[in-house]
Amino acid sequence: MDYNYSSDIVAVAVAMIGIILVVALVIYILQVIGMWKVFKKSGEEGWKAIIPIYNQYTMCKITGVNPWWVLIVVVASGLTGALGESDLASVVSLLSSIISIYFSVLLYVSLARAFGKSDGFAVGLILLNPIFLLILGCGSSQFIEKKPMHDLLFDNINKNKSTENVNPVNNQQSSTQTNPAPAAAKHCPNCGAEVENGVEFCKSCGSKVN
């Protein structure tokens, strides 16, 4: 009687998939609990931690990171999946990975600073996110204030906008200083008619102005 190895392989594969799903579920639950606690300390509703993408948007709100990064990451990931296996997809996939890594660094460094933690703690938030979120949310650390990390993209954009808004005012002030106001017109003391500057006699009555 031949032994059926294929059934054993299927059983092992199903067991491994089950273990992976259980581990993933445990990690997700721990992450949600930690994020829930962090949100509560920051003045946000804890339930926002349950909703994917929206929880990242909320994290941006409490840390001061520009929330447009969430949309950029989502769009970049979506483009990678939509392009399939083309050469362009490889390039987009690489850019998407760089964007996601940068956003994670930007977000969790800002989160650590908002709670008075060092940038080294932010490394833990990036690499061991559920554990360090639990430490931050369930520990004694309290939310201090928004201290966002320098954003290489949006900080420079806002800086350029501020410069553009200031320049017209400066130009207007400089033009006002360069072009002095015209001298006040003179009037004839006899008839009251307006007399041009430099003229000694009134053209209306002939009286001497000066």
Q: Does residue 113 sit in the same domain as residue 191?
A: no
**In terms of pLDDT, which residue wins out, 177 or 120?**
120
Q: Let me know whether 145 and 189 are in one domain.
A: no
Percent of the chain with pLDDT over 70: 76
Q: Do 59 and 139 belong to one domain?
A: yes
83 and 23, same structural domain?
yes
- CA atoms 36, 39, 41, 43: torsion sign: negative
Same domain, 197 and 137: no
Residue 163 lies in a domain: no
Say whether both 73 and 132 belong to one domain: yes
Mean pLDDT of 27-38: 95
> Do 74 and 21 belong to one domain?
yes
For 23, the domain range is: 7-150
Q: Are 203 and 142 in a shared domain?
A: no
Same domain, 189 and 115: no
pLDDT at 86: 73
Do 35 and 58 contact (CB within 8 A), yes or no?
no
**Both 53 and 113 in a single domain?**
yes
Q: Please give the tally of structural domains in the chain.
A: 2
Prediction pTM value = 0.70
Q: Is residue 106, in this structure, part of any structural domain at all?
A: yes
